[in-house]
Structure 1
Amino acid sequence: MTVAPASAETWREWLMSDRPQSRRQASLGRAYGAWRAFARNRLAMAGLGIVLALLLMALFADQLAPYSPTVGDLRTTRLLPPSAAHWFGTDDQGRDILSRIIYGSRITLFVVVLVAVLAAPIGLAVGTIAGYAGGLVDAALMRITDIFLAFPRLILALAFVAALGPGIENAVIAIAITSWPPYARIARAETLTIRQADYIAAVKLMGASPGRIVLRHIMPLCVSSVIVRVTLDMAGIILTAAGLGFLGLGAQPPSPEWGAMIANGRLYVLDQWWVAAAPGAAIFVVSLAFNLLGDGLRDALDPKGVK
């Protein structure tokens, strides 16, 4: 067992050692190298900053929002333009748009996190099992995957939400059901390469079962690729959720969901442009941030690019 050094310079040398003395040192060294590669990408750091700001905004919405997101005054504050009192203006119900955007970040994060938690493990499991088993199992699982990939995500999500009924929970389930196929494709491609490795053959000779090989030795190696794809898909997930909200199949009124806010603002887009422009800008900025973050993670987690 190795002892970690004390000074910062020695820490850096210890982490970047070409000959790590323990598994812990090797793991920390890989993580540090990935972080250095990520930190060199200024756009990726900007994306990370925006995502962290979104997370903080959702956590402290009660303290940050100046007004109630669901209650307004139709007589005095209806459709007011942006001002010092209402930075993003008010909507047709007299509600402060900035407050609704701040609270809407909670719904956005709720959708993104739940879809990632539901879809990524399904795709990872399907892809690794198909790639390792091969034969009829691989053919059957990949044909099911192809069926899901044959339809645009939003159209397929609309079909599932129409069957399940409107609501944010059903929208999350529908988006998750339509999001796992790309992860299965990536995991299968990784597994087809990994299963031919010498250490997999060694594990087989030691008597490990196929289930243990997939769970303990193949899935962990596919996780980084799936994480990158999930991060890049966050923008698509947000747009799909906003599309369902725009059509009235996502979060129901008076929830401050960004897509539903745009749908409400389309009636006033010519004269009171801020009603639709503010939530549209929020969707654009957050989607761009996740794309920048995903690009940075892809470069950082590439073994050929980490130095």
Structure 2
Amino acid sequence: MTREWLLSEQPASRRQARLGQAYRTWLSFRGNWLAMVGLGIVIALVVVAAFADVIAPHDPVVGGDLRTARLLPPGADGYLLGTDDLARDIFSRVVHGARLTLLVVTLVAVIATPIGLLVGTTSGYFGGWVDTILMRITDIFLAFPRLILALAFVAALGPGIENAIIAIAITSWPPYARLARAETLTVRGSDYIAAVKLQGAGPVRIIWGHIVPLCLSSVVIRVTLDMAGIILTAAGLGFLGLGAQPPQPEWGAMVAAGRHFLIDQWWVATIPGIAIFVVSLGFNLLGDGLRDVLDPKGRK
């Protein structure tokens, strides 16, 4: 009965219509098994980050005896994925590193998405000199590779996970602004917006109350697809020593610390590298699935 109520072609209320549309979207998304794999990876990341203290069997910062527990291979003496050069459990560090990774992608998305939406919708709605100025600023940011620009900002702000998040967020908003501007240009002259103007709505209400919701699905898809790039940028900054600082268990910094032992003790650098790869792949698969179900222009 619930399924029939949700799939009704003649909903009796707005609530039923919204829930029915959400259920149809979920059914479409569920039919894409790669997207479900991506969703599973992302959910696993969230669960691991939330319960890292329970899952990790050892302290991620304090190591064991350097004489007996240094650079142990996976499975030795109760260390599931081995130990690093300071006798710290790699599995525990990877688990706690999930928290830093989730923190970075969440904060970057929270900071960069509103900035991109504000710049893009304002530029597309007003046009003229406002559009010219805002888009030229956007072009300046887009002219530089994201990692190079993030390196410049971190060099100016100083190393640290907080400054790395700020730097990545500053370099992440331009694509969202471009996308929001394009969406705004397609709807600003529509009868729907004209009717809102006739009701006396001002520019701020029109932009945030009517245009931004129309742009949101496309921007969410782009943000999800960009999560992998954000993770790689954060790992790159950590690898160069400009992101999370020791002894924080950040995956990029772990790869950097393990590169000196790559030949004989391969697990020190390889395991956090695999974690970066799997999580990045999960966000890419999830983003592709969301694009298929949320973007009408991308449907076959």
TM-score interval w.r.t. the shorter chain? over 0.9
Deviations 1:135-189 (A, max 9, x none): 1101111110000000000000000000000000000000000000000011111
1:26 corresponds to 2:17: yes
8 Å Cα contact 1:186-1:226 kept in structure 2: yes
Equivalences for 1:4-83 in 2 at 5 Å?
7=1, 11-72=2-63, 73-83=65-75
Deviations 1:41-60 (A, max 9, x none): 00110111111111111111
Deviations 1:174-210 (A, max 9, x none): 0000000000011111111111221111111111111
8 Å Cα contact 2:291-2:298 kept in structure 1: no
Aligned partners of 2:4, 2:227: CA distance in 1, in Å?
36
Seen in structure 2, the aligned counterparts of structure 1 residues 109 and 281 have a Cα distance that, compared at 3 Å, is same
1:114 corresponds to 2:107: yes
Aligned residues: 298
**TM-score computed with the length of structure 2 as normaliser:** 0.97
Aligned partners of 1:75, 1:16: CA distance in 2, in Å?
65
Alpha-carbon shift at residue 305 of structure 1 (Å): 7.2
Alignment counterpart, residue 203 of structure 1, candidates 189, 196, 207: 196
Letter of the structure 2 residue corresponding to residue 165 of structure 1 = G
Alpha-carbon shift at residue 306 of structure 1 (Å): 7.9
Equivalences for 1:73-152 in 2 at 5 Å?
73-83=65-75, 85-152=78-145
Aligned partners of 1:232, 1:269: CA distance in 2, in Å?
31
Alpha-carbon shift at residue 32 of structure 1 (Å): 1.1
Gaps in structure 1 of 5+ consecutive residues: 1-6
The equivalent of 1:242 in structure 2 is 235
Alignment counterpart, residue 276 of structure 1, candidates 259, 269, 272: 269
Aligned partners of 2:94, 2:251: CA distance in 1, in Å?
7
8 Å Cα contact 2:159-2:242 kept in structure 1: yes
3-state secondary structure, aligned to 2:236 = helix
Aligned partners of 2:31, 2:297: CA distance in 1, in Å?
15
Aligned partners of 1:26, 1:186: CA distance in 2, in Å?
28
8 Å Cα contact 1:38-1:297 kept in structure 2: yes
3-state secondary structure, aligned to 1:90 = coil
The equivalent of 1:265 in structure 2 is 258
Letter of the structure 1 residue corresponding to residue 95 of structure 2 = I
The equivalent of 1:301 in structure 2 is 294
The equivalent of 2:173 in structure 1 is 180
Aligned partners of 1:204, 1:20: CA distance in 2, in Å?
29
Alignment counterpart, residue 193 of structure 1, candidates 167, 186, 195: 186
Letter of the structure 1 residue corresponding to residue 35 of structure 2 = A
Runs (4 or more) in structure 1 with deviation over 3 Å come to: 303-307
Aligned partners of 1:90, 1:145: CA distance in 2, in Å?
45
Seen in structure 2, the aligned counterparts of structure 1 residues 233 and 102 have a Cα distance that, compared at 3 Å, is same
3-state secondary structure, aligned to 2:295 = coil
Query: CA RMSD, aligned part only?
Result: 1.4
The equivalent of 1:287 in structure 2 is 280
Aligned partners of 2:75, 2:270: CA distance in 1, in Å?
15
Seen in structure 2, the aligned counterparts of structure 1 residues 291 and 163 have a Cα distance that, compared at 3 Å, is same
3-state secondary structure, aligned to 2:133 = helix
Letter of the structure 1 residue corresponding to residue 66 of structure 2 = L
Letter of the structure 1 residue corresponding to residue 228 of structure 2 = A
Aligned partners of 2:297, 2:5: CA distance in 1, in Å?
21
8 Å Cα contact 1:78-1:94 kept in structure 2: yes
**TM-score computed with the length of structure 1 as normaliser:** 0.94
1:253 corresponds to 2:246: yes
8 Å Cα contact 1:37-1:305 kept in structure 2: no
Identity %: 73
Aligned partners of 2:117, 2:25: CA distance in 1, in Å?
22
